[in-house]
Chain A
Amino acid sequence: QKEVEQNSGPLSVPEGAIASLNCTYSDRGSQSFFWYRQYSGKSPELIMSIYSNGDKEDGRFTAQLNKASQYVSLLIRDSQPSDSATYLCAAIYNQGGKLIFGQGTELSVKP
Protein backbone atom coordinates (compact mmCIF):
# COMPACT_ATOMS: atom_id res chain seq x y z
CA GLN A 1 0.00 0.00 0.00
CA LYS A 2 1.35 3.36 -0.98
CA GLU A 3 1.78 5.56 2.07
CA VAL A 4 2.88 9.03 2.98
CA GLU A 5 3.87 9.49 6.59
CA GLN A 6 4.08 12.65 8.64
CA ASN A 7 4.57 13.34 12.31
CA SER A 8 1.21 14.66 13.49
CA GLY A 9 2.81 17.07 15.95
CA PRO A 10 1.98 19.53 17.24
CA LEU A 11 5.24 21.23 16.34
CA SER A 12 5.72 24.43 18.29
CA VAL A 13 8.29 27.06 17.30
CA PRO A 14 8.85 30.66 18.46
CA GLU A 15 8.13 33.53 16.12
CA GLY A 16 11.09 34.22 13.84
CA ALA A 17 12.49 30.70 14.06
CA ILE A 18 12.80 28.11 11.29
CA ALA A 19 10.05 25.49 11.24
CA SER A 20 11.05 22.13 9.76
CA LEU A 21 8.33 19.75 8.60
CA ASN A 22 9.13 16.25 7.41
CA CYS A 23 7.49 13.59 5.32
CA THR A 24 8.47 10.11 4.15
CA TYR A 25 6.90 8.00 1.43
CA SER A 26 6.87 4.30 0.83
CA ASP A 27 6.79 3.83 -2.93
CA ARG A 28 9.78 4.64 -5.13
CA GLY A 29 7.36 5.06 -8.03
CA SER A 30 6.32 8.42 -6.68
CA GLN A 31 7.55 11.32 -8.76
CA SER A 32 5.87 14.50 -7.62
CA PHE A 33 5.44 15.97 -4.17
CA PHE A 34 3.34 18.77 -2.83
CA TRP A 35 2.94 20.72 0.37
CA TYR A 36 -0.46 22.10 1.28
CA ARG A 37 -1.33 24.41 4.16
CA GLN A 38 -4.70 23.96 5.83
CA TYR A 39 -6.10 26.39 8.34
CA SER A 40 -8.66 25.08 10.79
CA GLY A 41 -12.05 24.77 9.11
CA LYS A 42 -10.65 25.62 5.68
CA SER A 43 -9.62 23.59 2.65
CA PRO A 44 -6.01 22.75 1.67
CA GLU A 45 -4.04 25.50 -0.07
CA LEU A 46 -1.12 24.56 -2.32
CA ILE A 47 2.10 26.25 -1.21
CA MET A 48 4.90 24.23 -2.84
CA SER A 49 5.46 21.55 -5.46
CA ILE A 50 8.75 19.71 -6.06
CA TYR A 51 9.65 17.15 -8.68
CA SER A 52 13.46 16.86 -8.67
CA ASN A 53 16.04 16.01 -6.06
CA GLY A 54 17.37 19.03 -4.22
CA ASP A 55 15.94 22.26 -2.91
CA LYS A 56 13.25 24.56 -4.25
CA GLU A 57 12.79 27.97 -2.68
CA ASP A 58 9.80 30.29 -2.83
CA GLY A 59 9.90 33.27 -0.50
CA ARG A 60 10.14 32.05 3.09
CA PHE A 61 9.44 28.44 2.04
CA THR A 62 11.99 25.85 0.93
CA ALA A 63 11.01 22.34 -0.15
CA GLN A 64 13.64 19.62 -0.13
CA LEU A 65 13.42 16.28 -1.90
CA ASN A 66 15.69 13.26 -1.49
CA LYS A 67 14.42 10.39 -3.61
CA ALA A 68 17.15 7.99 -2.48
CA SER A 69 16.00 8.37 1.12
CA GLN A 70 12.31 8.76 0.12
CA TYR A 71 12.14 11.94 2.15
CA VAL A 72 10.51 15.32 1.59
CA SER A 73 10.72 18.32 3.86
CA LEU A 74 9.42 21.86 4.10
CA LEU A 75 11.34 24.63 5.83
CA ILE A 76 9.61 27.84 6.83
CA ARG A 77 12.02 30.66 7.62
CA ASP A 78 11.15 33.59 9.88
CA SER A 79 8.03 31.79 11.09
CA GLN A 80 5.03 34.00 11.83
CA PRO A 81 1.95 33.34 13.97
CA SER A 82 -0.03 33.41 10.72
CA ASP A 83 1.89 30.28 9.64
CA SER A 84 0.12 28.31 12.39
CA ALA A 85 -1.83 25.66 10.51
CA THR A 86 -1.74 22.00 9.54
CA TYR A 87 0.73 21.20 6.78
CA LEU A 88 -0.13 18.32 4.49
CA CYS A 89 2.43 16.42 2.43
CA ALA A 90 1.15 14.68 -0.71
CA ALA A 91 2.59 12.54 -3.49
CA ILE A 92 1.58 11.43 -6.97
CA TYR A 93 2.64 7.99 -8.14
CA ASN A 94 3.56 6.71 -11.60
CA GLN A 95 1.89 9.30 -13.83
CA GLY A 96 -1.40 8.84 -12.02
CA GLY A 97 -3.56 11.78 -11.12
CA LYS A 98 -4.52 11.08 -7.55
CA LEU A 99 -2.76 12.61 -4.59
CA ILE A 100 -1.85 10.42 -1.64
CA PHE A 101 -1.80 12.55 1.50
CA GLY A 102 -0.11 12.19 4.84
CA GLN A 103 -2.16 12.87 7.94
CA GLY A 104 -0.69 16.35 8.33
CA THR A 105 1.57 18.07 10.84
CA GLU A 106 0.09 20.75 13.06
CA LEU A 107 2.40 23.77 13.38
CA SER A 108 2.03 26.36 16.11
CA VAL A 109 4.11 29.55 15.96
CA LYS A 110 4.20 31.31 19.31
CA PRO A 111 4.56 35.13 19.43
Chain B
Amino acid sequence: GAGVSQTPSNKVTEKGKYVELRCDPISGHTALYWYRQSLGQGPEFLIYFQGTGAADDSGLPNDRFFAVRPEGSVSTLKIQRTERGDSAVYLCASSRVTGGFNEQFFGPGTRLTVL
Protein backbone atom coordinates (compact mmCIF):
# COMPACT_ATOMS: atom_id res chain seq x y z
CA GLY B 1 0.00 0.00 0.00
CA ALA B 2 0.96 3.65 -0.18
CA GLY B 3 3.37 4.97 2.38
CA VAL B 4 3.51 8.33 4.12
CA SER B 5 3.67 11.18 1.64
CA GLN B 6 4.98 14.69 2.20
CA THR B 7 4.81 17.82 0.11
CA PRO B 8 6.70 19.72 -1.02
CA SER B 9 9.87 17.66 -1.19
CA ASN B 10 11.95 20.84 -1.15
CA LYS B 11 11.09 24.33 -0.01
CA VAL B 12 13.34 27.35 -0.27
CA THR B 13 12.14 30.50 1.42
CA GLU B 14 13.47 33.78 2.67
CA LYS B 15 14.00 34.70 6.30
CA GLY B 16 10.81 36.06 7.82
CA LYS B 17 8.42 34.26 5.44
CA TYR B 18 5.66 31.82 6.38
CA VAL B 19 5.74 28.18 5.22
CA GLU B 20 3.40 25.22 5.36
CA LEU B 21 4.52 21.61 5.12
CA ARG B 22 2.00 18.87 4.46
CA CYS B 23 1.90 15.24 5.52
CA ASP B 24 -0.48 12.50 4.36
CA PRO B 25 -0.20 9.42 6.62
CA ILE B 26 -0.61 5.76 5.78
CA SER B 27 -4.29 4.95 5.39
CA GLY B 28 -5.75 3.66 8.65
CA HIS B 29 -2.96 5.04 10.83
CA THR B 30 -4.43 7.05 13.68
CA ALA B 31 -1.23 8.56 15.01
CA LEU B 32 0.89 11.11 13.17
CA TYR B 33 4.27 12.51 14.20
CA TRP B 34 6.47 15.39 13.12
CA TYR B 35 10.26 15.36 13.54
CA ARG B 36 13.04 17.45 12.15
CA GLN B 37 16.53 16.33 11.31
CA SER B 38 19.67 18.39 10.96
CA LEU B 39 22.75 17.13 9.15
CA GLY B 40 24.62 14.49 11.11
CA GLN B 41 21.96 14.22 13.82
CA GLY B 42 19.12 11.87 14.58
CA PRO B 43 15.56 13.09 14.10
CA GLU B 44 14.28 15.37 16.83
CA PHE B 45 10.66 15.08 17.96
CA LEU B 46 8.35 18.05 17.45
CA ILE B 47 4.72 17.01 17.96
CA TYR B 48 2.37 14.09 17.63
CA PHE B 49 -1.35 13.71 17.03
CA GLN B 50 -3.71 11.00 18.11
CA GLY B 51 -6.70 11.59 15.86
CA THR B 52 -7.35 15.32 15.53
CA GLY B 53 -5.78 16.40 18.80
CA ALA B 54 -2.16 17.08 19.64
CA ALA B 55 -1.24 14.48 22.25
CA ASP B 56 2.25 15.86 22.86
CA ASP B 57 3.64 19.13 21.49
CA SER B 58 6.58 19.33 23.87
CA GLY B 59 9.11 19.33 21.05
CA LEU B 60 7.91 22.46 19.28
CA PRO B 61 10.84 24.87 19.71
CA ASN B 62 8.80 28.06 20.10
CA ASP B 63 5.48 29.66 19.24
CA ARG B 64 6.47 30.22 15.62
CA PHE B 65 5.77 26.53 15.04
CA PHE B 66 2.24 25.20 14.90
CA ALA B 67 0.66 22.05 13.53
CA VAL B 68 -2.89 20.97 12.80
CA ARG B 69 -4.71 17.80 11.81
CA PRO B 70 -8.32 18.96 11.45
CA GLU B 71 -9.89 15.76 10.12
CA GLY B 72 -7.62 13.22 11.72
CA SER B 73 -5.77 12.39 8.53
CA VAL B 74 -3.64 14.97 6.71
CA SER B 75 -1.53 17.25 8.87
CA THR B 76 0.08 20.61 8.18
CA LEU B 77 3.12 21.97 9.99
CA LYS B 78 3.16 25.75 9.91
CA ILE B 79 6.21 27.90 10.57
CA GLN B 80 5.85 31.65 10.93
CA ARG B 81 8.61 34.23 10.55
CA THR B 82 11.12 31.65 9.43
CA GLU B 83 14.71 31.91 10.60
CA ARG B 84 17.88 30.48 9.07
CA GLY B 85 18.11 28.09 12.03
CA ASP B 86 14.84 26.48 10.92
CA SER B 87 16.63 24.98 7.93
CA ALA B 88 16.44 21.20 8.25
CA VAL B 89 14.65 18.16 6.88
CA TYR B 90 11.15 17.93 8.33
CA LEU B 91 10.01 14.34 8.64
CA CYS B 92 6.52 13.03 9.16
CA ALA B 93 5.74 9.55 10.45
CA SER B 94 2.57 7.62 11.16
CA SER B 95 1.67 4.57 13.21
CA ARG B 96 -1.34 2.34 13.54
CA VAL B 97 -1.50 2.77 17.30
CA THR B 98 0.11 4.94 19.94
CA GLY B 99 1.73 4.01 23.19
CA GLY B 100 4.84 2.09 23.95
CA PHE B 101 4.69 -0.46 21.18
CA ASN B 102 3.90 1.59 18.13
CA GLU B 103 6.03 1.25 15.02
CA GLN B 104 6.44 4.51 13.18
CA PHE B 105 6.92 4.71 9.43
CA PHE B 106 8.48 7.78 7.93
CA GLY B 107 7.71 9.76 4.83
CA PRO B 108 10.40 11.04 2.46
CA GLY B 109 10.68 14.38 4.25
CA THR B 110 10.59 18.03 3.24
CA ARG B 111 13.93 19.77 2.98
CA LEU B 112 13.43 23.35 4.16
CA THR B 113 16.06 25.95 3.35
CA VAL B 114 15.73 29.43 4.80
CA LEU B 115 17.93 31.97 3.05
* Interface positions of A (Cβ within 8 A of B): 4, 8, 31-32, 34, 36, 42-46, 49, 51, 88, 90, 92, 94-104
Contact = CB atoms under 8 A, between A and B. Distances in A.
Given A32-B100, A104-B41, A104-B42, 18 more contacts: A31-B101, A32-B102, A34-B103, A34-B104, A36-B106, A42-B108, A43-B89, A43-B106, A88-B42, A94-B100, A95-B100, A97-B33, A97-B98, A98-B33, A98-B56, A99-B43, A101-B44, A103-B42
B56 A44 contact: no
Interface residues of B, number: 30
A49 B35 CA distance: 19
A51 B44 contact: no
A99 B104 contact: yes
Contact of B91 (A43, A46, A92): A43
